[in-house]
Chains A and B, each alone.
Chain A
Amino acid sequence: MDLLTNHLLTLILFTPVVGAVVLLFLPAKNIRVLRWAALAASLVPFGLALGLWARFDPSAEGFQFVEMMPWYPAIQSSYHLGVDGISLMMVLLTVVLTPLAVLASFTVTERVKAYMFLFLLLETGMLGVFLSLDLLLFFVFWEVGLVPMYFLIAQWGGTRRNYAALKFILYTMGGSLGLLLATQMIGVVAGTFDLTELFQIWPALNSGTLLGLPMATVKAVAFWAFVIAFAIKVPVWPFHTWLPDAHTEAPTAGSMILAGVLLKLGAYGFLRLVLPLYPLESKLFAGWLAALGALAIIFGALGAFGQKDFKRLVAYSSINHMGFVVLGIAAAAAAVGSQDAVIALNGAVLQMVTHGLSAAGMFFLVGVIYERTHTRDLTEFGGLFAQMPVYGGVLLFTAMGSLGLPGLAGFVSEFLVVRGAWPVFTLATALSMIGLFFTGAYILKALKMVLHGPLNERWKGKLPEMSLREGIVIAPLMVLMLILGVWPAWALDVINRTVSMISLAMSLWF
């Protein structure tokens, strides 16, 4: 039992890999066994994470369940894990979405073993980023998550999968180069990769040189390298165009994870690394970030409204929604230490969770209809509500969650961001209302073209209702959206304490 408690994070982190390795020894022909084994493997970290959540103490300061072991002693990098409120929420999101994505992948019939193997590997990569308290470890997991997604898109994707996969990996790798550079610069200058130590020393460090460069330059380079790497991942406008392609071509479950968790890695990078390590620079450049966030909200929504491809529309909605995360982070950086900053950060983190749920749900539902019709062209649907009433109701519900309807999850987080950002970036917040308006427009456009109107006779009697398995995939997401919308306090309480501490710690540098 001690082993379990002392190494809970390690267990959560590596059980997916263990599961993946086990898969390798199962017969490739027996698809059923492979599927169920993968599902079981993804449920283990889910169960463990529930235990983690139960034992997590929201009122404690700093990181909990910390594990530390030497890893590369020569360069002062260690295997250092820990969770606070933000990472706990992200871990929970990951372990909830992965089994659902695996279950959604039960329709995959080609090379199931490799597919499930990659999926489990992906889970470890994502969890590693959220759990790492060592910069180098963070980077390693960051890259680990990248590779499986590339193969998932390139091997199991749609017709333009090669273009999309290449764009995805090159773009993210481009960001990663900077991330690697910045990580090394920080490691060499500060003499450690340990984040808890870096939080204490890095913001104050302003003497010394690296390869003849003054400290200010080194810090500026490292700051911008971080910002760009994370901005690409979020993605912040105008670094977003890889996303519609990657999303559209990825297999359904890939899109679920991509939108649900992978995008959060970027935002998490801002929260975990940029804000605490660069409070001064963050404040200085927050205005730019807020502007880009507002542009992401506006052009993400407009881009979504302009689509005819259902999946592309949902993909653009991610840009729109993640814009609120960015706006919240920018407001928190600018108004550091104030109540506005705390509210904005609460909104940003909650938005990461709520968007993870609604976007995963929407992508899944696009997949459900795609598997039946083999088209994503909105103009080819129409009147499907009468054919698939349950699907119609579920789609309506999930779409409303995505729209930010009060009573469902998205509203609370968006309201908090707007409230937090309004006094800090009044103009950007006001302009982002244009985007919020078009959020309504594109959601209703999708519903109108899929569900409403006269039935396209082509589908008459050909579309079976949602299956039980499909229902099981979407139901937890719907329940969570509803619970978070009606009673957000249980999640917000955890988030609030952590972001209050982060905001307080940041304000100490001023």
Chain B
Amino acid sequence: MNMDLLIWLIPLPPLLAFAAIVLFTNRSKALSHSLAIGAAGLSWLASMVVFFTAVGREELAKHPLGVDLKVNWLPLGDGAFKIGVQVDPLSAVILFFVAWTVLMIFVYSVGYHNFGQPAGDHDKPGLPPHGATVKVKGHGHQVPSVEPMYSRFFAMISLFAFGMFLLVVTDNLLTLYMAWEIMGLCSYLLIGFWYAKPSARDAAVKAFLTTRVGDMFMLLGMAALYKMTGTLNYQEILANPTVLEMLASQAAPVLGLSWAGLIGILIFMGTVGKSAQFPLHVWLPDAMEGPTPVSAMIHAATMVSAGVYLSIRFFPLISAGWDGGGALTPAMMTLAVVGAVTALFAATIAVAQNDIKRVLAYSTISQLGYMIAALGVGAYVAAAFHLVTHAFFKALLFLGSGSVIHGMEHGVLHTHQHIDPQDMQHMGGLRKKMPVTFWTFLAGGLALSGFPLVTAGFWSKDEILSGAFNGGHVWVFVILALAALLTAFYTARQITLTFLGQARSEAAEHASESRAVMTAPLVVLAFFAITAGWVGIPKAFPGLGGLVPNWFEEFVGEMLLVHGEAAHHSLVPLITSLVVALGGLALGWWVYRDVRAGQKDPLQKPLGPVYTLLQNKYYFDELYGATVVRFSRWVSEVFTDRWLDRGVIDGILHGIAAAGLWLGGVLRNGFDLPVINRFLGDTVVAGGTRKLGAETSKIQTGRLQQYMLMGLAVVLAASAIIYFFFVMA
């Protein structure tokens, strides 16, 4: 099959599935999920074909796949804006993990939404299912019930997948932006999937609007880039040294930046929103209001990965003017600062969260910060590598946490205990109840912590740390190392609290392992969470380096026009990365190994107010609520509506109207009535006529002789006048 066409077709099946489910099959749950999974499978298949074709190509970065088939999308002036597809090394590796994670999440969702279970007793569309009663041998007992909006869910995640596939295969920023926004819509719809829950509804709005802040900057960046270069095509801008040089050398009107710097920062603002970087991170933790497969979609397969992908994609622009060493460009500096701050800041919050998904949410923010910081210091390949490995293990962790929650819900239904099934304080000892979930979650957790050698996370994180260290950016290195320590710590805390020790609630005692349709995807993802790192073992790594080729570096590194200085591999980052990973894990296990039911968090006492601060996420929600949200409401409801429109503008209009009425009144009362009506009307016209009539009526005496006499007088007078004026003259 024609490769160009095949790449065009990758995003299509999920879109068709979305349309078909919405329009036709939404009444049939089985048909709907078959369509969605079938479509995801087709896209997966096409992606794999494209991926392996791409891997086999020489000089793929210079000659990406798919570039020969373009269409004129917008006729403008004499030319047209063309859109097309391309698969280069970067998009190929992204495509690989997107296809896998999407397919796994789709399959998992069947079990997560309790397909095959009875409809709930009191379930309503818009609320999570509450369970159904089934009669077994005469007495009823509670079992999980199927999601009432099952088909809708599969429609929406299909659209979501379409957005991500489109974003990956497109060859220009405009279509990327379109896919980007479509994903924004999907995240809104899916975070607010249980729309009748006020918390889910608000989280959905928050996600859409927070990311939209970044998108507005990105839109400007896109306009500027289009203006400066006359195109938005990746190859024509990012693989073109002349264009990059032009952008780097011309000054933009803002802050003394070059155009490359300004556009780079504007586009990066899109990433800040989409990938939940500080200070726009607030939406991502709330995003777990959606069903857990959605969290996995957002946190791994699609949304936040798209943000980082954008920054990686535009790295040539962001780093334009950087020679591979020495001072960072302003745009790179921005990335380094934002990324490093985010990485540490989010990791500290994760330490004090008790909701199993919330811990993961903050860990995502932190890990994304890692990638951004890596890009900021020029560790391009490391950032891309961590993006890939993170996608696998974070999808795994979220799906695993969903499986845990499912098991806990089972226990809650069984025991009628009223506890929050997501709260890790009520868990414990799930290792034995849910073995598959435990072992896969452990694999994901260790990968997240960077457990040495066997996990994927270790290799990618190590790359980032050594990139920061070897590039001479010690402050970035220190911050990231600290964040890595915290990461290992809270991961160990999470695993210990959830799976180890004794059950801390009745529900946890009666938890049960999830169905195979849920655990099988966990196993697949666990495989990648372990192995995905082995394709990128650095050559200089002591002992292992060079045994297997550093394929990832060679493949993706080809994208770079300017290569960083050859990594003279120092042992400092390696040792640091070993110490923080193992130390953090050990410490986390040691502190939380023996937490009892009802016991407070062991850190609460020693940390004191700091713990409260962390638990409340540095009060960012409250801060934004008190400032941005309140100000927006005031400026719209009071300033614009009440003061400006109804007060000033309508006031002026009503003033003019009142002046018109007043003038009319004055004219009527001061002129019409006295002058026209009374003086002219009553006095002159009417009065005069009446008077004339009264005067002349006196001569109407009724005597005939008098009339004859008057007639004679008139005739004589008239004759005299005629004679004098006409005859004489």
A residues touching B (Cβ–Cβ < 8 Å)? 167, 170-171, 238, 240-241, 244, 299, 302-307, 339-340, 342-343, 346, 383, 385-386, 389, 393, 396, 400, 405-407, 411-412, 415-416, 418-419, 422-423, 426, 429-430, 433-434, 436-438, 440-441, 444-445, 448, 451-455, 487-489, 492-493, 496, 500
Contacts and interface: CB of A to CB of B under 8 A. Distances in A.
B77 A400 contact: no
B543 interface: no
B718 to A, nearest CB: 46
A299 B77 contact: no
A386 B124 contact: yes
Main secondary structure of the interface of B (DSSP, over half): helix
Contacts of B189: 396
Contacts of A423: 227
B478 interface: no
B219 A418 contact: yes
B185 to A, nearest CB: 6
Interface in B638-654: 638-642, 644-646, 649-650, 653
Given A299-B645, A407-B182, A429-B223, 15 more contacts: A170-B657, A240-B649, A241-B649, A303-B636, A306-B636, A339-B77, A411-B181, A415-B174, A419-B226, A423-B227, A436-B219, A444-B209, A453-B198, A489-B74, A492-B76
A488 B80 CA distance: 12
B81 to A, nearest CB: 9
B722 interface: no
B725 interface: no
B417 interface: no
14 contacts: A302-B635, A302-B636, A302-B639, A339-B76, A383-B195, A386-B124, A418-B223, A433-B217, A452-B201, A453-B198, A488-B74, A489-B73, A489-B80, A492-B75
A430 B639 CA distance: 21
Contacts of A448: 201-202, 205
Interface in B185-236: 185, 188-189, 192, 195-196, 198, 201-202, 204-205, 208-209, 212-213, 216-217, 219-220, 222-224, 226-227
A127 B513 CA distance: 68
Given A419-B226, A433-B220, A440 B208 contact: yes
A489 B182 CA distance: 20
B628 to A, nearest CB: 11
A386 B124 CA distance: 8
A241 B650 contact: yes
B196 A455 contact: yes
Interface of B: 22, 72-78, 80, 124-126, 174, 177-182, 185, 188-189, 192, 195-196, 198, 201-202, 204-205, 208-209, 212-213, 216-217, 219-220, 222-224, 226-227, 253, 632-633, 635-642, 644-646, 649-650, 653, 657
A504 B154 CA distance: 51
A437 B181 contact: no
A244 B653 CA distance: 14
Contacts of B644: 299
A346 B77 CA distance: 9
Given A386-B196, A406-B182, A437 B126 contact: no
A386 B125 contact: yes
Contacts of A405: 181-182, 185
A406 B645 contact: no
A496 B195 contact: no
A10 to B, nearest CB: 31
Contacts of B637: 305-306
Contacts of A339: 76-77
A400 B185 CA distance: 8
Contact of B220 (A304, A307, A422, A438): A422
A500 B125 contact: no
Contacts of B180: 406
Nearest to B232: A419
Contacts of A396: 189
B22 A389 contact: no
A73 to B, nearest CB: 39
Contacts of A434: 216
B632 A454 contact: no
Nearest to A417: B223
B253 to A, nearest CB: 7
Given A305-B632, A385-B125, A500-B77, A437 B226 contact: no
B208 A453 contact: no
Given A241-B653, A343-B76, A452 B636 contact: no
Contact of B227 (A383, A422, A452, A454): A422
A389 B125 contact: yes
Nearest to B152: A389
A383 B195 CA distance: 8
Contacts of A299: 640, 644-645
A206 B212 CA distance: 50
Nearest to B178: A406
B196 A383 contact: yes
B533 to A, nearest CB: 36
Contacts of B223: 415, 418-419, 422, 429
A384 B220 CA distance: 36
A416 B226 CA distance: 11
B125 A433 contact: no
Nearest to A433: B216
Contacts of A433: 216-217, 219-220
A500 B77 CA distance: 6
B201 A415 contact: no
B77 A306 contact: no
A496 B657 CA distance: 43
A342 B220 contact: no
Given A385-B125, A423-B227, A453-B196, A415 B219 contact: yes
A99 to B, nearest CB: 24
Contacts of B185: 400, 405
B636 A488 contact: no
A496 B253 contact: no
B220 A416 contact: no
A451 B205 CA distance: 13
Given A342-B77, A423-B227, A303 B640 contact: yes
A238 B640 contact: no
B216 A496 contact: no
Given A303-B641, A436-B216, A438-B636, A342 B76 contact: yes
Nearest to A239: B649
B567 to A, nearest CB: 40
Contacts of B219: 415, 418, 433, 436
B182 A437 contact: no
A407 B178 contact: yes
Given A433-B220, A436-B219, A385 B126 contact: yes
A452 B192 contact: yes
Nearest to A392: B195
A411 B219 CA distance: 11
A437 B213 contact: yes
Contacts of B646: 241
Contact of B632 (A241, A411, A441): A441
A146 to B, nearest CB: 18
B178 A411 contact: yes
Contacts of B645: 240-241, 244, 299, 303
A436 B639 CA distance: 18
Nearest to A439: B212
A473 to B, nearest CB: 18
A342 B641 CA distance: 35
Contacts of B216: 433-434, 436-437
A489 B77 contact: no
A426 B76 CA distance: 21
A330 B641 CA distance: 26
Nearest to A421: B223
Contacts of B638: 306
A178 to B, nearest CB: 15
Between B177, B180, B198, the greatest number of chain A beta carbons within 10 A of the residue's beta carbon is seen for B198
B680 to A, nearest CB: 29
A437 B224 contact: no
